[in-house]
Amino acid sequence: MYFASDNGAPAHPAIMDAMLRANTGYTSGYGAEEGMQEVQQTIRDLFEAPSAAVYLVSTGTAANALALATMTKPWETIFCHRNAHIEEDECGAPEFYANGAKLTLVEGPDAMMTPQSLQAAIDYTGRLGVHNVQRGSASITNVTEVGTVYSLEQIQALTKIAHASGVKTHLDGARFANAMIALDCTPAELTWRSGIDAVSFGGTKNGCLGVEAVIFFDPDMAWEFELRRKRGGHLLSKHRMLSAQIQGYLADGLWIDLAKQANAAGQKLANGLAQISEVEFMPPAHANMIFAKWTRATHDKLAAQGSNYYFWPADPAPNGPADEKLSARLVCSWSTTDAEIDQFLGYFS
Region 27-46 residues binding a second copy, contact defined as CB under 8 A: 27-30
Instruction: Kindly state whether residue 219 participates in binding a second copy, applying the rule CB under 8 A.
Output: no
Using the rule CB under 8 A, give the single segment among 55-63, 256-264, 266-274, 291-299 that binds a second copy.
55-63
Give the residue, chosen from 39, 53, 65, 258, that forms a contact with a second copy under the rule CB under 8 A: 65
Closest alpha carbon to 183 in 197, 194, 170: 194
Q: Smallest distance, Å, CB 344 to a second copy?
A: 13
Phi and psi torsions of 245, nearest 5°: -60, -45
Q: How many other C-beta atoms are found inside a 10 Å radius of the C-beta of residue 282?
A: 17
Q: Smallest distance, Å, CB 19 to a second copy?
A: 7
Instruction: Kindly state whether residue 190 participates in binding a second copy, applying the rule CB under 8 A.
Output: no
CB 167 within 8 A of CB 137: yes
Per-residue mark of binding to a second copy, 7-26 (x: CB under 8 A): xxxxx----x--xx--xxxx
Q: Which of residues 88-117 bind a second copy (CB under 8 A)?
A: 88-93, 95-103, 105
Q: Which of residues 147-166 bind a second copy (CB under 8 A)?
A: none
Q: How many other C-beta atoms are found inside a 10 Å radius of the C-beta of residue 217?
A: 19
Give the residue, chosen from 106, 241, 326, 332, that forms a contact with a second copy under the rule CB under 8 A: 241
Instruction: Kindly state whether residue 232 participates in binding a second copy, applying the rule CB under 8 A.
Output: yes
Closest alpha carbon to 288 in 330, 249, 342, 323: 330
- Rounded CA-CA distance 103/56 in Å is 24
Using the rule CB under 8 A, give the single segment among 162-170, 186-194, 296-304, 312-320 that binds a second copy.
312-320
Closer residue to a second copy (CB): 62 or 279:
62
Give the residue, chosen from 153, 253, 314, 318, that forms a contact with a second copy under the rule CB under 8 A: 314
Using the rule CB under 8 A, give the single segment among 184-192, 272-280, 290-298, 310-318 that binds a second copy.
310-318
Closer residue to a second copy (CB): 135 or 193:
135
Q: Are strands 198-202 and 168-173 parallel, antiparallel or unpaired?
A: parallel
Q: How many other C-beta atoms are found inside a 10 Å radius of the C-beta of residue 88?
A: 13
Q: Smallest distance, Å, CB 152 to a second copy?
A: 28
Give the residue, chosen from 109, 284, 313, 346, that forms a contact with a second copy under the rule CB under 8 A: 313
Instruction: Kindly state whether residue 58 participates in binding a second copy, applying the rule CB under 8 A.
Output: yes
Instruction: Kindly state whether residue 119 participates in binding a second copy, applying the rule CB under 8 A.
Output: no
Q: Smallest distance, Å, CB 156 to a second copy?
A: 26
Closest alpha carbon to 213 in 90, 86, 80, 40: 40
Q: Smallest distance, Å, CB 158 to a second copy?
A: 22
CB 43 within 8 A of CB 191: no
Instruction: Kindly state whether residue 62 participates in binding a second copy, applying the rule CB under 8 A.
Output: yes
Give the residue, chosen from 35, 60, 147, 283, that forms a contact with a second copy under the rule CB under 8 A: 60
Closer residue to a second copy (CB): 132 or 151:
132
Q: Smallest distance, Å, CB 233 to a second copy?
A: 3
Instruction: For residue 132, count CB atoms less than 10 angstroms from its CB and return exposed for 0-12, middle for 13-18, buried for 19 or more.
Output: middle
